[in-house]
Structure 1
Amino acid sequence: MYQSLLDHIRRYVDLEPSEIEVLCSFLSHRHVAKKTFLLEPGKVCAANYFISSGCLRLFFITTSEQEQITHFGLENWWIADYGSLTSQRPSQYYIQAVEDTEIIELKASVQDELLAKVPKLERYFRLVLLRAYTASQRRIEFMNNLSGEDRYNQFTAMFPDFAQRVPLYMLASYLGFTPQFLSKIRAKRN
């Protein structure tokens, strides 16, 4: 049930069998149906979610009432509103399943206890969050230095399978333009 997470952890740190046993005792597995919300504004982010299969999205509603996707989570990625998770204050974000998704939850209420019992996981989470932060920095650069069309072309070249998995309006939101603009770009390509 937790094999995908254990394989992911193994890429960063080696856990002893006893540490794996402790880790698994703190986790829970859940199926999340497509379109189900794990988080909504005004609620506290209760857990860090590891995606075994499927896709989740993190987004907010802009002042002009548009969805703005800030993050997609695919297989072997973690997703949470880390600001809400760490402060235990209400979130401004939604987390929603784009597809039927299998997640492994690590509840915020037990995370510190787990890290105290399995200190190697501090290193694991630090390395994972550093990679995520670096990706976020690159995305900001990407959004500010490339035209909308160039963003779309580069993204679909780098992630062709993913670009086919999500609805076009979500891809447009993530890339920072309207679905209509995306339709024009796609029409030019055909």
Structure 2
Amino acid sequence: MLHIEPLLKSFRSTIDLTEDEISLIDRRTVLRKYLKGQYIVQQGDFCNTTNFIISGCTKTFVIDEEGQEHIIMFSIENWWTSDLGSFVSRNPADYHIQCMEPTEVIQFTYENLQLLYQEVPKLNVFFRILLEKALVAAQKRIIRNFSLTAKERYLAFKSLYPEIDSRIPQYMIASYLGITKEFLSKIKSQLILEQ
């Protein structure tokens, strides 16, 4: 059960679990390792898992009709990643989720998570709170995108996610911010001059 200890630590931030409940969770989860570049899910496939990241980094993105990649989010250790719309609705995925580094996750299939909601009702509380926090974060990102300049959005990104900034290529950060890599380079040059 050592492999699920990071997951249990995350659960314990919100709920208390008995040994029997921990055993149920252990039996209904799978430890999965991905190589750098591998996909957890691809757009158009069915997303049948929600994933707790033990180690590594993923990006969630779409590719538009011109072949341009638009990054929606990054996920690192102790974060969750999934195409939630596909996972919940059982429809094809809207997003790709690709590993930026060798990545290890604990996976819950849709079916096993539904069973766990019945077997360990406390998990309903945990996942409700998790989704509420994710919704608030998404709403704040929308507000930042509407109300802040590109420079302010970059500074907010660095402040909110300092551990991600150094792990991913700058062109991907630019995609996440909705700007070109050249414009991000210009912003970074300005910031250096201002120091």
| Structure 1 residue 74: Cα displacement | 1.2
Q: Distance in 2 between matches of 1:91 and 1:157?
A: 30
Structure 1 length normalisation: TM-score?
0.96
Report what 1:85 is aligned to. Answer: 87
1:163 to 162, 165, 171: 165
Gaps of 5+ in 1: none
Runs of 4+ in 1 over 6 A off after TM superposition: none
Kindly state the Cα deviation for residue 62 of structure 1 after the two structures are TM-superposed: 2.2
How far 1:188 sits from its partner (Å)? 2.1
The whole-number CA distance in structure 1 between the counterparts of 2:163 and 2:120 is: 36
After the TM superposition, which residues 110-125 of structure 1 pair with which residues of structure 2 at under 5 Å, given as runs?
A: 110-125=112-127
Q: Cα deviation per residue 1:55-84 (whole Å; 9 max; x = unaligned)?
A: 111110123321111111111111111110
User: Distance in 2 between the 1:65 and 1:181 partners?
Assistant: 20
Partner of 2:108: 106
Indicate the SS of the match to 1:2.
Answer: helix
Question: What is the distance in 2 between the residues matched to 1:59 and 1:68?
Answer: 5
SS at match of 1:50: strand
Q: Which amino acid aligns with 1:180?
A: E
Q: Kindly provide the CA deviation profile for residues 82-137 of structure 1, in whole angstroms up to 9, marking residues without a partner as x.
A: 11001111112100001111100001122111111111100010011111111111
Aligned runs of 1:115-154 on 2, under 5 Å? 115-154=117-156
CA distance in 2, matches of 1:88, 1:47: 11
Q: Does 1:173 align with 2:175?
A: yes
Who is 1:35 aligned against?
Answer: 37
**Local SS of the residue matching 1:95:** strand
Distance 1:141 1:133 in 2: 12
* Structure 2: distance between partners of 1:43 and 1:85: 11
Unaligned stretches of 5+ in structure 2? none
| DSSP 3-state at the match of 2:16 | coil
Between the two proteins, the alignment pairs up a number of residues equal to: 190
The letter for the 2-side match of 1:89 is N
Deviation at 1:180, TM superposition (A): 1.4
Q: How far off is 1:187 after superposition?
A: 2.2
Percent of aligned positions with the same letter in both sequences? 37
Matches of 1:54 and 1:163, distance apart in 2: 14
Instruction: Measure, in 2, the Cα distance between the counterparts of 1:17 and 1:120.
Output: 14
Q: What is the CA–CA distance in structure 2 between the aligned matches of 1:24 and 1:54, rounded to whole Å?
A: 21
Length-normalised TM-score, structure 2: 0.93
Which residue matches 1:3?
5
